[in-house]
Structure 1
Amino acid sequence: MTTALRRLRNYIDGEFRDAADGRTTEVVNPATGEPYATAPLSGAADVDAAMAAAEAAFPAWRDLIPAERQKVLLKVADRFEERAEELIAAESENCGKPIALVRSEEIPPMVDQIRFFAGAARMLEGRSAGEYMEGFTSIIRREPVGVCAQVAPWNYPMMMAVWKFAPALAAGNTVVIKPSDTTPASTVLIADIIGSVLDELGHSRGVFNVICGDRETGRLMVEHKVPAMASITGSVRAGMQVAESASKDLKRVHLELGGKAPVVVFEDTDIAKAVGDISVAGYFNAGQDCTAATRVLVHESIHDEFVAALAKAASETKTGAVDDEDVLYGPLNNANQLKQVKGFIERLPAHAKIEAGGEQVGEKGYFFAPTVVSGLKQDDEIVQHEVFGPVITVQSFSDEKQAVQWANGVEYALASSVWTKDHARAMRMSRSLDFGCVWINTHIPLVAEMPHGGFKKSGYGKDLSSYGFDDYTRIKHVMTSLDG
């Protein structure tokens, strides 16, 4: 007997709708490799409808005093807590993520982030009013940019949606957001939550809209005449396409793209602690994280000991079913991603050595073993390009200068970490590493108050923090004559 697939729908102007032309795609649970739902494959008519709803809702939402927008977001955060088990179930099915880890590692920070931006709504900052020309007073207005077209990724579909809608709504913008075509379920549920809150508090539900679809849907959103800003978290290729499309009418663009985080381990490091923390930061979420600790540079004097300890940690790291509380991570998100990770391993050069893992595991789903690869050189493909899987590479460096050169010697510049007991060296490295974040003796913690974003091909703009909030505002100068 064939199980009926659940039907997901777009959320436009407060209504759940199928695609205008009825097209759908199947949504696959990566833990099983089997479809569990269908979602709209939205086209131009759906994008037009969502943009029209957001555009119509914008003036009233923009003109609310910040305290009123704060009330909405605080209530949304409360509702996230109340409906946490629904969100957890949706995200686990979306991504094959272990249920216990979604509950402990994603729900609490998401709620905190929404509440942070609720507070940020009332903390708009600008230079003080003053006289800079005799007889005139100047003031600065900070305003929302307008309708925001947002595209969220499949690695953290629920949390990345929060990172996008929370600052946008707090600043007074309206939103049309598209989840990845492989992970729409949790975003559709978020639409139900936000829509119900907007309705209860007497605001237009067109403030927040969700449309499902593929890359073509995203392109239509970015090229649409209505949005004033396009925001995407995704691959470098996708980011470059968005920037090119947005340039046609000079939309503002916010890009959080790939990463290839260097993890620089010096000889005075506590090896056991470093290996324990790095293995978790490298394998968490199956390594599908732009900041994952997957490119280790270790001083030659401790290289062999470190690699042996890391391989042992990999062998003790467990991947598996969503209801197994002992697993650290679930499957890769989709069949194409599994193929990509396998390809990196199959193309390893002869001088590389697989110390642990290196193969698919399980009879169903897209699971891949925690992997360690040593013996690599700086120009190897697996060192230069983002694997986005549970694969940690190890290189051996001789001195601080070489460590900096190799760490910076990639096209990405999102995150990095330094492991040493030498404070002066840690400060030198934090200055020299060309990355948007430098962690010292840790890797991957994030807080709502601090910015997340990179340089080079990792994109531009910031998520989280007041800097992320500012990205969703524009600055206007108002000058008035003092002589009546």
Structure 2
Amino acid sequence: MSRQLLNFSVKNSHIISRNLLTNSKYGFLKDLGIESVNPGVYDGKWSGSGKIIDSISPSTGEIIASVYETTKNETINVINNSNKSWIEWSSIPAPARGEIVRQIGNELRQNLIPLGKLVSLEMGKILQEGIGEVQEYIDICDYAVGLSRMLPGYIYPSERLNHVLLEKWNPIGVVGVISAFNFPVAVYGWNSAIAMVCGNTVVWKGSPTTPLVSIATTKIISNVLEKNGISGSVASLVTGGGDIGDTLVDNKNVSLVSFTGSTKVGHQVGLKVQNRFGKLLLELGGNNALIVANDADLEMSIRAAVFSCIGTAGQRCTTTRRLIIHKNIKNEFLKKLKISFKSILERIGDPLDEKTLYGPLHNQQAVDAYEATVKNAVENGGTIEFGGKKINRPGYYVEPTIITNLSIDNKVVKNETFAPIVYIFEYDTIDDAIIKNNIVEQGLSSSLFTKNLSNIFKWIGPHGSDCGIVNVNIGTSGAEIGGAFGGEKTTGGGRESGSDSWKNYMRRSTITINYGDQLPLAQGIKFE
């Protein structure tokens, strides 16, 4: 640490005594280089002179450690340094950039368990999910390494004699990544691995409530860059809230802003970036439905619904918010779902305990939103079939909740609450179910459980689900890195991870080369 940070630690020893670093159970924090007070800025060197923020464990409400936020001027300097490093980084051949990303993937493998534990400790998701999230970054590194040797260009036939038409993709410059608390590693991984092999530098602003994950992840990356003599400002970090995000969004040197968060904030980000003709990648809210047909495998659909509804304590953008069940099986489905929810509650506990299946909400704000939504649903005529209350234990635990008797177009239903609340509806025909799926403003993920081919092809067809993710016989949560991830309507229209999502991080040039000694015009135009 710098002298300034050391002095702070001494002057504010109460912070050290209050945080969890003194507990041997959390030794993995020191393995990841987490200190009592951490600098929150990295661009080849660690610094930070903004205010101190505390990272809070959602499972206990205790302070884990503290972090120096980034100031606005520091953010501008980081962006400028990233822009300078882009010239050098983009000049390295793509396969050589892929080799750096391969090493980052391997470094993440070496730190899979400790970093996964930190995700669980700081975000609150159970250990299996915390480790799985780091694995997702590793997987996208592998994907990006292959991509680095396959970035395509095209040759098209020209209508003119002795001419050739080429299409070439080039890097765009600095990519600003603003990620959310619920996936504090994976979303950055999707963006950074692809952006880096495409030849861009990255400035990351993680969530201000998961700063330790951002710092630990950046330290892993910086180790690789330093070993290879690559400037650390190829993958920079800034820490802070909306003011730091605004600085990224408004800066013309940031060619692409990839924002993950609420639709409300994403709309503001979109307007600002478009106003300066920057590029956008938006991954915003979801209000996802899982439809169960009367011919579905009931047990499989129940298992899928349980994880999709209450995995990550309902804090995934792909969480199932609405269950649309065929009227003939609704009562049986609801009965089995309650039994499953009750069994999950028997496995509530510390996210770091491997036996735990259900963890806390992220913070008090999330608990408040949960309680307000449940109250609002009841006031609008909803019936609580299961849950509905805060759990009396340390931390931010609430009961997974099932609500019936609300209209599908009720405002409570149409509003996404980042909590384990699911609304139950019934339907008669597949066309009716599709209408109910599409009625909300969001369009991220959707699922249909059926064995009927006619239902399937209606569901995936042009008049079926209007979401970016359209599943059959799997839940709404759990996307593979090989496919493009993202949604339509107020979800933002962005696509990250696999398929051709790499195109977001590059600019396209159409090139015409005349290798002859004549100058014919296109379309046969004569100008002589």
Q: Same fold (TM over 0.5)?
A: yes
Aligned AA (2:366): Q
Mapped partners of 1:191, 1:449: distance in 2 = 24
* Aligned partner of 1:339 among 368, 382, 395: 368
Aligned to 1:202: 229
* Aligned partner of 1:117 among 141, 144, 150: 144
Aligned to 2:516: 483
Corresponding residue SS for 1:281: helix
Q: CA RMSD in A?
A: 1.6
Deviates more, 1:153-162 or 1:373-382: 373-382
Corresponding residue SS for 2:419: coil
* Aligned partner of 2:474 among 436, 442, 445: 442
Q: Deviations over 1:304-359 (max 9, x none)?
A: 11111111111111332123323223111111111111111011145321111111
Mapped partners of 2:385, 2:209: distance in 1 = 32
* Aligned partner of 1:458 among 488, 491, 514: 491
Mapped partners of 2:152, 2:481: distance in 1 = 18
Matches within 5 A, 1:84-483: 84-103=112-131, 105-318=132-345, 319-348=348-377, 349-431=379-461, 432-443=464-475, 444-483=477-516
What is the deviation of 1:129? 4.7
Query: Is the contact between residue 361 and residue 398 of structure 2 (CA under 8 Å) also seen in structure 1?
Result: yes
Aligned AA (2:369): Q
Mapped partners of 1:332, 1:252: distance in 2 = 33
Matches within 5 A, 1:65-80: 65-80=93-108
What is the deviation of 1:4? 4.8
In structure 2, list runs of 5 or more residues that go unmatched.
Answer: 1-13, 20-35, 518-528
Deviates more, 1:295-304 or 1:109-118: 109-118
Aligned to 1:34: 62
Mapped partners of 1:60, 1:132: distance in 2 = 38
Query: Is the contact between residue 112 and residue 135 of structure 2 (CA under 8 Å) also seen in structure 1?
Result: no
Aligned AA (1:47): T
Mapped partners of 1:121, 1:255: distance in 2 = 24
Mapped partners of 1:399, 1:138: distance in 2 = 51
Aligned to 2:524: none
Aligned AA (1:37): A
Query: Is the contact between residue 161 and residue 187 of structure 1 (CA under 8 Å) also seen in structure 2?
Result: no
What is the deviation of 1:362? 3.3
What is the deviation of 1:8? 2.4
Aligned AA (2:107): R
What is the deviation of 1:166? 1.1
Mapped partners of 2:352, 2:158: distance in 1 = 64
Aligned to 2:39: 9
Query: Is the contact between residue 77 and residue 111 of structure 1 (CA under 8 Å) also seen in structure 2?
Result: yes
Mapped partners of 1:118, 1:238: distance in 2 = 33
Mapped partners of 1:442, 1:415: distance in 2 = 11
Runs of 4+ that moved beyond 6 A = none
Aligned to 1:55: 83
Deviates more, 1:154-163 or 1:81-90: 81-90
Q: Identity over aligned residues, as a percent?
A: 25
Query: Is the contact between residue 199 and residue 205 of structure 1 (CA under 8 Å) also seen in structure 2?
Result: yes
Query: Is the contact between residue 155 and residue 164 of structure 2 (CA under 8 Å) also seen in structure 1?
Result: no
Query: Is the contact between residue 268 and residue 421 of structure 1 (CA under 8 Å) also seen in structure 2?
Result: yes
Query: Is the contact between residue 31 and residue 95 of structure 1 (CA under 8 Å) also seen in structure 2?
Result: no
Query: Is the contact between residue 120 and residue 466 of structure 1 (CA under 8 Å) also seen in structure 2?
Result: no
Deviates more, 1:439-448 or 1:339-348: 439-448
Aligned AA (2:432): Q
Aligned to 2:25: none
Corresponding residue SS for 1:108: helix
Aligned AA (1:205): G
TM-score of the superposed pair, with normalisation by structure 1: 0.96
Corresponding residue SS for 2:320: coil
Aligned to 2:111: 83
Aligned AA (1:449): G
Q: Deviations over 1:360-419 (max 9, x none)?
A: 113221111121112221122332111111112111112222211111000000110001
In structure 1, list runs of 5 or more residues that go unmatched.
Answer: none
Corresponding residue SS for 2:135: helix
Aligned AA (1:407): N
What is the deviation of 1:248? 2.5
TM-score of the superposed pair, with normalisation by structure 2: 0.88
- Name which one, 1 or 2, has greater alpha-carbon Rg: 2
Aligned length: 481
C-alpha distance 210-132 of structure 1, shift in aligned 2 (>3 A):
farther
Mapped partners of 2:73, 2:209: distance in 1 = 21
Aligned to 2:72: 44
Aligned AA (2:37): R
Mapped partners of 1:334, 1:480: distance in 2 = 59
Mapped partners of 1:100, 1:458: distance in 2 = 27
Mapped partners of 1:100, 1:450: distance in 2 = 22
Aligned AA (1:419): F
Corresponding residue SS for 1:317: helix
Mapped partners of 1:23, 1:325: distance in 2 = 35
Q: Deviations over 1:71-92 (max 9, x none)?
A: 1111001000111233123212
Query: Is the contact between residue 9 and residue 16 of structure 1 (CA under 8 Å) also seen in structure 2?
Result: yes
Deviates more, 1:471-480 or 1:433-442: 471-480
